[in-house]
Amino acid sequence: MPLRDRAFAGAATAMAGRGGAVVNLIPLGLTILALAIWALSLPGVNVRRMTDLGLISVLTPGIFLALVLLTISFAVSLHHQNLRPALLGLHLGVLILMLYGITALVEEAPRFSVVYRHAGFAEYIARTGHLNTAIDAYFSWPGFFVLTAFVTRIAGLSSALDLAPWAPVFFNALWVGPLYMIMTAATDNRRLAWLGVWWFFLANWVGQDYLSPQALNYFFYLLIVAMLLTWFRSRPAEEPSGSSTRWQGIALMATLLVIFAAVVSSHPLTPFFLIATVGALVLLRRVTPRALPIVMTAMTVAWILVVAQPFLAGHSSMVTGSVGQVNSIVSANLTSRVQGSPDHLLVVAMRIAITLALWGMALLGAIRGTGHGRDLAIGVLAVAPLAVVPLQVYGGEIALRAYLFSLPAIAFFAASWLFGLKRPAAGWRSTALVAGASMLLLGGFLVTRYGNERIDYITNDELAGVRHLYEIAPPGSILVSTGYTPWKLQQIEAYDYRYLPPSSLGQTDVKAVLRLMTDARHDHAYFLFTRSEAAQVDLFYGLPGPGASTGAARGSLDRLVDAMVASGRFTVLYRNADSMILTPVLSAGVAA
């Protein structure tokens, strides 16, 4: 057994003599009770009162109680003499619903402004049947958006936005299967495997599970790694191979390559994480298909050179410009994120603390597990993704992505460290330890995962404002905002989108806005102001703090809009509680 299964043996023995059937019913009852309390508490959550701490600032006591009950119930289930996969799976399902489905139930519209842009890409494809690489880089890796367009049309949905509210629950549920395969490939201890999966979902705060190519491709990443560790792992001669026949091995490899083809065609970054991970597994002789990294590299390069070439021709510096540029990568991924309002800084500090704590626990767990061959394989999963970090800034998100790709292994090692702490005799103490550590992670999750929620949630009034904009703005118009707004959801190719620079916010520079909106090639220009944009400015550029260096202060966007109205150079075309549309006076007569 690669990792020793001692900690739970004592608990199991202890429980065996105390009425196994009763102990078995307790977790089921607790889970149902937790779910009921959670559901009954949801109406009390008022997102309008949210502070810069995010969703946790408006959660009701019942939500916390439900999560605590579920955590205790899971810990008890994990220590039962006869491990019940169905019961543990039920806990996991309820956890995913509670943690990742809550926003779909307490918020008015699909959350996260980027989702609306993604819906716009799918809308363009569904409407035209073509790709347009001039609109966005993603049209050079269009697999996910074509799939979304296809699903939207064939299922008779009005928009991809119909899929968006429950996308986080869907994708997290999708990840359970390959995660469990990876964990069970690393250990024969099923309890450790379940705890590793459980902690993955408590530590996955990076929020890459919205309706997006990366969410689907992360599933493909996990699945390909799980396939390799399950069916293509290097084994001692005396051990049976993962795939029992030559035909089965060929069929599995063909399936793996089909899945990788979907990755190559639908996301620019995931192929590189896969090549790094699979390459390391092959180099260290943990898996048998020696030529696989070469084939994967060839497929990726072929796609880039043949299909994505038009994008690369105009953006080569964007792709290669940051290779090895440590300063710019650190700045974009870390320094620029550690700024904003005091509450937001607390959220950022929590993210760093949780990450370091988890990595520290994982390191201790890895040290405990050294000497076991399979641990080296899963250790590769923790380290290999980091190799991609020095290559690309990726919009300041590469460090977050590397964290996500390392997380399965990190959660596994952290769980294995905890399992090794107590000796077999301490059954209930071990249960308490699992429950306590899980609750700490849970508390951290509620802060870190939804720490930007005041920006990310979208109200019906905001959406009404955006929809009104598309009703009144003729194709070809200039549309201006900060970007953190639910726009681009329709006719994405028909408008000239422009972004408000932070400097014009800080200096309340109305003339700069006017310059941005004046262009001889366009007859109409519109300024869109929404609640989520104002929240973004508050959170990211709030005072006091480094954000002040940009000149932007709390309420800057509101002040700019006030100044625009007071200047007499803009006309308000539309206004509701959470959105406003303005146009320069010169074009107001035409636009109205």
Q: Which positions touch other proteins (CB under 8 A)?
A: 125-126, 129-131, 142-144, 146-147, 149-151, 153-157, 174, 177-178, 180-181, 216, 219-220, 223, 226-227, 230, 244, 248, 251-252, 255, 258-259, 261-262, 265-266
Whether 66 and 38 have beta carbons less than 8 Å apart is answered as yes
Nearest CB to other proteins, comparing residues 299 and 437? 299
**Minimum Å distance from CB 302 to other proteins?**
14
313, exposed or middle or buried, with CB in 10 Å at 0-12, 13-18, 19+?
Answer: exposed
d(CA 360, CA 552): 37
**Minimum Å distance from CB 180 to other proteins?**
7
- For the record, the structure tokens of 591 come out as 């636009």
Whether 203 and 445 have beta carbons less than 8 Å apart is answered as yes
Nearest CB to other proteins, comparing residues 281 and 362? 281
Nearest CB to other proteins, comparing residues 240 and 324? 240
CA atoms within 13 A on the CB side of 553: 6
3-state secondary structure of 5: coil
Nearest CB to other proteins, comparing residues 149 and 455? 149
**Minimum Å distance from CB 564 to other proteins?**
42
Nearest CB to other proteins, comparing residues 263 and 362? 263
Nearest CB to other proteins, comparing residues 185 and 473? 185
User: Nearest Cα to 473, choosing from 524, 411, 535, 530?
Assistant: 524
Nearest CB to other proteins, comparing residues 15 and 122? 122
**Minimum Å distance from CB 156 to other proteins?**
4
Whether 348 and 340 have beta carbons less than 8 Å apart is answered as yes
Sheet holding 579-584, edge to edge: 496-499, 478-481, 525-530, 579-584, 570-576
Nearest CB to other proteins, comparing residues 156 and 371? 156
Q: What would the DSSP string read from start to end of 18-80?
A: TTHHHHHHHHHHHHHHHHHHHHHHGGG--GGG-BTTBGGGG--HHHHHHHHHHHHHHHHHHTS
Nearest CB to other proteins, comparing residues 170 and 470? 170
Cα torsion 167, 169, 172, 174 to 10°: value is: -80
**Minimum Å distance from CB 133 to other proteins?**
12
**Minimum Å distance from CB 201 to other proteins?**
16
Q: What angle do CA 550, 551, 557 make, to 5 degrees?
A: 105
**Minimum Å distance from CB 252 to other proteins?**
6
**Minimum Å distance from CB 233 to other proteins?**
13
**Minimum Å distance from CB 217 to other proteins?**
10
Q: What would the DSSP string read from start to end of 479-539?
A: EEE-S-SS--SS-GGGSEEEE--HHHHHTT-HHHHHHHH--TT-S-EEEEEEHHHHHHHHH
